[in-house]
Amino acid sequence: MSSTTPNQIATNALRRSQLYRRHMAMSAAFEALTDSTVVSCYGTGEGELKQAQHLGLADLSTLPRAGFKGLGTPDWAAGQGLQLPVQPNRANLQDDGTLVARLSQTELLLASNLDGLSESIANISLGSQLPERVYSLPRSDSHSWLVLCGSQAAATLSKVCGVDLRPHKFANGEVAQTSIAKINGVLVRNDLGETLSYSIFSDSSSIEFLWDSLLDAMAEFEGTAVGIQALRDC
C-alpha cells in the first residue's frame, strides 16, 4: 500500500496557497481539505500550541470564503438562515463555525470553519439562485486569509496598523477595514477559545509582502508561523 508524503499532498492538490514555496522552505507538513491543502504544522509541530497561544501566524488562504453585496443582501442572507450582525463592522460565528462579517449595511464576507467544511457557505453559494440586487463576490480568489493569534498579537499589530486593536479597546467580533503594513484589508477579531486571535483578509496579490511584514514585526516578540492544527487545539 503506497503512502502520500506531505510534499505530494501539496503538489497534487487542485488549490494551494501562493505562500506554498515559503511553507515548503519552513518544512511544512500539509493536510488535504476537500480540493485544497493547508499547512497542518511545521516540522513535527512540537510546541506549536504554546506558540499559537503566545504569538503565531497561520495561512488559511485555501479555506473556503464567499462574499455578497447589494441592497437585497441582508434580507436574502437572513432568509438563507444566516445570523447577521445588526450593525456594520461586526462579525458573528454561525452554529457550524462559519464567520460572517458585515462590512456595510449591504455587504457580507463569509469564512469557513477550521475544517474547511462550511455548510453555511455551501448552502448560500450553491443552494439557491441569487435574487435581484444581490451580487456574488469571489472572496476565495480575491482575498487571502491570515490568522495572527496569541497574547502578543495586538502588540504586533500595533507596529503595522494604526487602529488600536488592544483587547480592551477592540472587542471580540469587531471588524476594522484599515491598512495593515500599508496594505488595505479587513481585520476581524475572532478569538480561538481563550486565545486572542485576528483574521486578516487582504488582496491576494499582496499576500507574500504581508506575510513577510507580519513575521518581521513578530520577531521582537518571538513569534513564528504555526499550522492550522495549533489553531484547532487552542
**pLDDT surpassing 80 at residue 11:** no
**pLDDT surpassing 90 at residue 56:** yes
Does residue 49 form part of some domain? no
Does residue 231 form part of some domain? no
Give the CATH number for residue 83.
Answer: 3.30.70
Residues in the chain: 234
Neighbours of 70 (CB within 10 A): 17
Grid cell digits, residue 91: 462579525
Does residue 88 form part of some domain? yes
pLDDT at 125: 67
Which 3-state string (H, E, C) describes 95-149?
CCCCEEEEEECCEEEEECCCCCCCHHHHHHHHCCCCCCCCEEECHHHHEEEEEEE
pLDDT in tens, 148-172: 999 999 999 999 999 999 999 999 9
Neighbours of 132 (CB within 10 A): 9
How distant, in Å, are the alpha carbons of 37, 46, 51, 63, 79 from that of 188? Answer: 23, 28, 21, 16, 24
pLDDT in tens, 182-196: 999 999 999 999 999
Confidence band of 105 (pLDDT split at 50, 70, 90): very high
The pTM (predicted TM-score) of the whole model is 0.92
Q: 27-36, 37-46, 82-91, 193-202: lowest mean pLDDT where?
A: 27-36
Does residue 43 form part of some domain? no
pLDDT at 128: 58
Grid cell digits, residue 80: 438563507
- Count how many domains the chain has: 1
Does residue 87 form part of some domain? yes
* Whether the Cβ atoms of residue 116 and residue 15 lie closer than 8 Å to each other: no
Domain interval for residue 80: 65-140
* Whether the Cβ atoms of residue 37 and residue 15 lie closer than 8 Å to each other: yes
The arithmetic mean of pLDDT across residues 92-114, rounded, is 95
CA distance 40 to 193: 19
Neighbours of 171 (CB within 10 A): 10
Confidence band of 8 (pLDDT split at 50, 70, 90): very low
Residue 204 host element (H or E): none
The arithmetic mean of pLDDT across residues 43-60, rounded, is 97
3-state percent helix, strand, coil for the chain, nearest multiple of 5: 30, 30, 40
pLDDT in tens, 212-224: 999 999 999 999 9
Mean pLDDT of the chain: 91
Tell me the one-letter amino acid at 42: Y
Does residue 123 form part of some domain? yes
pLDDT at 195: 98
Does residue 117 form part of some domain? yes
